[in-house]
């Protein structure tokens, strides 16, 4: 905790830039009392009392004078449990009366293993031992499954893909659409994970809804879906920003982003292929007819009838997200 921030919530014996170690220790009881108001810990779902440990000063040098001063104070806490620890939940609201963007840097030790965590503003940190000491392969597997799960419950992404697949007549066209979508959202997802680009969630979600509306409406005018992978790539860039919102908090707890991001994208791609394998036989069966003219007629009916519910759903999503009506849970 920065001593300059502490001075605004706790009565320190001296100016933060003139504070001595002895004076900092004199304020320890007040600092601990403040932190205990802001920190709540649950182990296996039960609240646990904190045992205050050492209060350590962290020194820095003043830019103008070069003098050493106590810039931060590091307070240790121990949380004991008589039962085997399986799950830990830490909630904190530090300096909430001063700012809503406070940066909390925590070091958690569990079974002899230390890991740093970084959070901004009021936060909840949930830890499971299997994830706490998770190797590279465990991380890859977790994010692979997470990517598959996210595409299966991402109804807006599914609606967008289905709108595109309705106009695609051949398996090759469908594969190009799915692959183009994956490559595009992989690019923006990686850039967002590296914090190169950051767009407000409301803007991203509204653009995703707008992409669904556009593709569903275009289905009434397009004749061939052969080159639609280009449009898919453009909109896939937007959908990647939507994926990044669910990844950003989890990624900040990891040492690197390449393995989890690649694994997440692979999971999304596998989920999309699974959707394609389900949709393709249905679309082929609906289009089946004794002659080419009949196939063409069925294709037109399929596109028009199938695009309408997607169009209406996209419009509802768009209005709901632009005006933040919160009428839908997803």
CA nearest to 90, candidates 35, 141, 166? 35
How are beta strands 87-92 and 123-128 bridged, if at all? antiparallel
Q: Does position 83 have pLDDT exceeding 70, yes or no?
A: yes
CA–CA distance, 312 with 306 (Å, rounded to integer): 11
What integer is the mean pLDDT of 81-99? Answer: 82
Phi, psi of 329 (to 5 degrees): -80, -5
Q: Residue 313: which pLDDT band, with cuts at 50, 70 and 90?
A: very high
Q: Which letter does DSSP use for residue 2 in this model? A: B
Q: Does position 111 have pLDDT exceeding 60, yes or no?
A: yes
Could you tell me which residue, 66 or 135, shows the higher pLDDT?
66
Q: What is the pLDDT of residues 236-274, one digit of tens each?
A: 999 888 877 667 666 766 667 788 888 888 998 899 889
CA nearest to 71, candidates 3, 117, 121? 3
- pLDDT score recorded for residue 27: 92
Q: What is the pLDDT of residues 184-232, one digit of tens each?
A: 988 888 888 777 887 877 888 899 999 999 999 999 987 666 677 888 8
Q: Which helix (H) or strand (E) holds 56?
A: strand 51-61
Q: Does position 116 have pLDDT exceeding 80, yes or no?
A: no
Average pLDDT, the chain: 84
Q: Does position 42 have pLDDT exceeding 70, yes or no?
A: yes
Q: Which helix (H) or strand (E) holds 197?
A: none
CA–CA distance, 161 with 165 (Å, rounded to integer): 6
- pLDDT score recorded for residue 55: 93
């Amino acid at each position: 905790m920065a001593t300059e921030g502490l001075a605004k919530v706790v009565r320190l014996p001296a100016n933060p830039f003139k504070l001595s170690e002895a004076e900092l220790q004199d304020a320890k009881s007040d600092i601990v009392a403040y932190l205990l108001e802001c920190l709540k810990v649950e182990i296996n779902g039960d609240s646990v009392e904190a045992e205050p440990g050492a209060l350590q000063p962290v020194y820095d040098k003043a830019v103008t004078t070069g003098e050493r001063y106590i810039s931060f104070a590091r307070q240790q806490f121990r949380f004991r449990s008589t039962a085997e620890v399986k799950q830990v939940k830490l909630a904190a609201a530090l300096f909430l009366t001063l700012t809503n963007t406070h940066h909390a840097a925590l070091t958690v030790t569990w079974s002899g293993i230390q890991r740093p965590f970084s959070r901004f503003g009021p936060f909840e940190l949930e830890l499971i031992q299997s994830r706490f000491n998770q190797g590279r392969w465990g991380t890859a597997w977790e994010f692979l499954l997470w990517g598959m799960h996210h595409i299966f419950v991402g109804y807006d992404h599914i609606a967008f893909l289905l709108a595109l697949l309705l106009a695609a007549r051949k398996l090759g066209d469908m594969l190009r659409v799915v692959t183009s979508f994956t490559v595009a959202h992989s690019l923006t997802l990686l850039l967002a994970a590296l914090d190169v680009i950051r767009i407000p969630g409301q803007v991203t979600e509204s653009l995703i809804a707008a992409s669904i509306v556009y593709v569903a409406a275009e289905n009434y005018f397009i004749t061939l879906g052969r080159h639609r992978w280009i449009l898919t790539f453009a909109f896939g860039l937007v959908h990647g920003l939507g994926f990044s919102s669910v990844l950003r908090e989890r990624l900040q707890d990891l040492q690197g982003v390449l393995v989890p991001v690649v694994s997440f994208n692979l999971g999304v791609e596998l989920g999309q292929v699974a959707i394609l394998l389900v949709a393709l036989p249905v679309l082929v069966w609906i289009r089946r007819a004794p002659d080419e003219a009949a196939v063409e007629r069925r294709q037109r009916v399929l596109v028009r009838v199938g695009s309408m519910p997607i169009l209406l759903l996209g419009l509802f999503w768009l209005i709901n997200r632009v005006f933040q009506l919160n009428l839908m849970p997803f």
